[in-house]
């Protein structure tokens, strides 16, 4: 079963990886992606980023995406942690960990998970600019394209 | 009564996070509910002005304009997602 959490507080990737590997010696590799708040957007500095989500649906959507990844790559385990609330530049937003006997499955499943949760998990980002103004981040066509390549089976 | 939820820019434009609504008799799909909300008042007209940017979920699953809706459903409206 994938481990999926949606939380306001930060997370420790090392501690999450230790938990994923605890008590087992059959894992050959762990794929890892950590999304971090960048200090600029479109060339302009930002002061913070606030993530809104849909409680209930978010957990269901992440669990479905993680279960899909586990089945598709026969993973030995995977962890997805996604934060919400107001985050400052440098803070981690999202963690994806995948455990597999061999590296390719772990790396591919990690890319799949981050691509899919960008387009299928109900989160919305709002950036606060240096002057205090706030605006919603618009979805990018490149994210849709990245997610779609897993549908087409070309990745 | 259906429970209608609004998120992100839809929450701001509608001026509320949710409402309870008895679906009108001529509203049987997500698209028909969008049309009803757009016609209902100024906030709805603004929130639902651009159909291409409207996303919806019915009972916490992504839904299409043709997806059926009924009283007792939880129906959410929001812009394209931007997580990750």
pLDDT 10s digits, A69-90:
999 999 999 999 999 999 999 9
Interface mutation vs chain B, best among A42, A84, A124, most B CBs within 10 Å: A124
- A139 and B81: CB-CB below 8 Å? yes
Q: Which residues does chain B have within 8 Å of residue A33's beta carbon, measured at their own beta carbons?
A: none
Residue B84 resides in a domain = no
**Average of per-residue pLDDT across A8-21:** 98
Q: State the alpha helices, DSSP H only, in chain B.
A: 9-14, 30-40, 42-47
In the predicted model, what is the mean pLDDT of residues A5-12? 98
- Residue A155: band (very low, low, confident or very high) from pLDDT cuts 50, 70, 90: low
Chain mean pLDDT for chain A: 94
pTM to 2 decimal places? 0.93
pLDDT of residue A145: 85
Kindly tell me if the per-residue pLDDT of A137 is higher than 60: yes
The reply to whether B83 touches chain A by the CB within 8 Å rule is yes
Question: Which residue segment(s) compose the domain that B17 sits in?
Answer: 2-78
pLDDT mean over B55-73: 97
Residues A119-133 have a mean pLDDT of 94
Partner A, chain B 11-50, Cβ-Cβ below 8 Å: 11
Are A118 and A144 in contact by the 8 Å Cβ rule? The answer is: no
Q: What is the mean pLDDT of residues A123-149?
A: 90
User: How would you classify residue B62: left for phi > 0, otherwise alpha for psi between -120 and 50, otherwise beta?
Assistant: beta
More confident: A85 or A151: A85
Identify the contact set of chain A against chain B, taking CB-CB distances under 8 A.
Answer: 35, 51-54, 56-57, 60, 82, 93-94, 114, 117-126, 136-139, 143
Q: In chain B, which residues have their Cβ closer than 8 Å to the Cβ of A53?
A: 83
Q: Look up residue A155 and give its DSSP letter.
A: -
Residues A27/A86, Cβ–Cβ less than 8 Å: no
- ipTM for the predicted complex: 0.94
Cβ of residue B52 closer than 8 Å to a chain A Cβ: no
**Which of chain B's residues have a Cβ under 8 Å away from the Cβ of A139?**
79-82
Can you give the pLDDT at residue A126?
97
- pLDDT exceeds 90 at position A153: no
Residue A110 sits in a domain of what CATH number? 3.90.1170.40
How near does any CA of chain A get to the CA of B32, in Å? 22
pLDDT, one tens digit per residue, over B9-50 is 999 999 999 999 999 999 999 999 999 999 999 999 999 999
Other C-beta atoms within 10 Å of A61: how many? 27
SS3 B72: coil
With 70 as the cut, is the pLDDT of residue B2 above it? Answer: yes
Written as six digits, the tokens of A118 are 């960008």
Q: Which residues of B touch A80 (CB under 8 A)?
A: none
Q: What is the CATH number of the domain that holds B18?
A: 3.10.20.30
Q: Which of B9, B62, B83 sits opposite A82 (nearest CB)?
A: B83
pLDDT of res. A151: 78
Structure tokens at A9: 């507080």
Q: Which of A56-60, A137-141, B79-83 has the lowest mean pLDDT?
A: A137-141
What pLDDT shows up at residue B9? Answer: 97
Instruction: Please determine, for residue A154, whether its predicted confidence score (pLDDT) is greater than 80.
Output: no
Structural domains of chain A, count? 1
Longest dimension (CA), chain A: 52
**From start to end of chain A, where are the E strands?**
3-7, 29-36, 40-41, 44-53, 77-83, 85-87, 92-100, 123-129, 134-136
Q: Residue A148's pLDDT band (boundaries 50, 70, 90)?
A: confident
CA distance A82 to chain B (A): 8
Looking at the predicted structure, is the pLDDT value of residue A28 above 70? yes
**Does residue B83 sit within a domain?**
no
Task: Render pLDDT for A94-116 as a digit per residue (tens, 0 to 9).
Answer: 999 999 999 999 999 999 999 99
State which residues form the domain around A83: 3-152
The position carrying tokens 């509320």 is: B16
C-alpha count within 13 angstroms, C-beta hemisphere, residue A70: 16
């Amino acid at each position: 079963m994938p481990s999926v959490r949606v939380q306001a507080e930060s997370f420790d990737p090392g501690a999450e990886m230790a938990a994923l590997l605890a008590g087992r010696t059959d894992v050959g590799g762990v794929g890892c992606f950590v999304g971090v708040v960048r200090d600029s957007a479109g060339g302009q500095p930002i002061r913070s980023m606030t993530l809104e989500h849909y409680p209930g649906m978010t957990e269901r959507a992440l669990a479905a995406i993680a279960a899909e990844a586990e089945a598709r790559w026969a993973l030995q385990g995977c962890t997805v942690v996604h934060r919400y609330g107001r985050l400052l530049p440098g803070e981690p937003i999202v963690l994806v960990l995948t455990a597999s006997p061999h590296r390719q499955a772990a790396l591919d499943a990690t890319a799949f998970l981050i691509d899919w949760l960008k387009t299928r998990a109900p989160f919305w980002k709002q950036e606060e600019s240096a002057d205090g103004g706030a605006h919603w981040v618009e979805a990018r066509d490149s994210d849709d394209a990245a997610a779609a390549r897993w549908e087409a089976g070309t990745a | 009564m259906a429970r209608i939820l609004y998120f992100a820019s839809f929450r701001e434009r509608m001026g509320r996070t949710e409402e309870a609504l008895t679906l009108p008799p001529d509203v049987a799909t997500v698209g028909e509910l969008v049309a009803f909300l757009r016609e209902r008042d100024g906030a709805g007209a603004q929130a639902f002005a651009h159909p291409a940017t409207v996303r919806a979920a019915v009972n916490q699953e992504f839904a299409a304009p043709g997806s059926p809706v009924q009283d007792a459903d939880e129906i959410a409206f929001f812009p394209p997602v931007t997580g990750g």
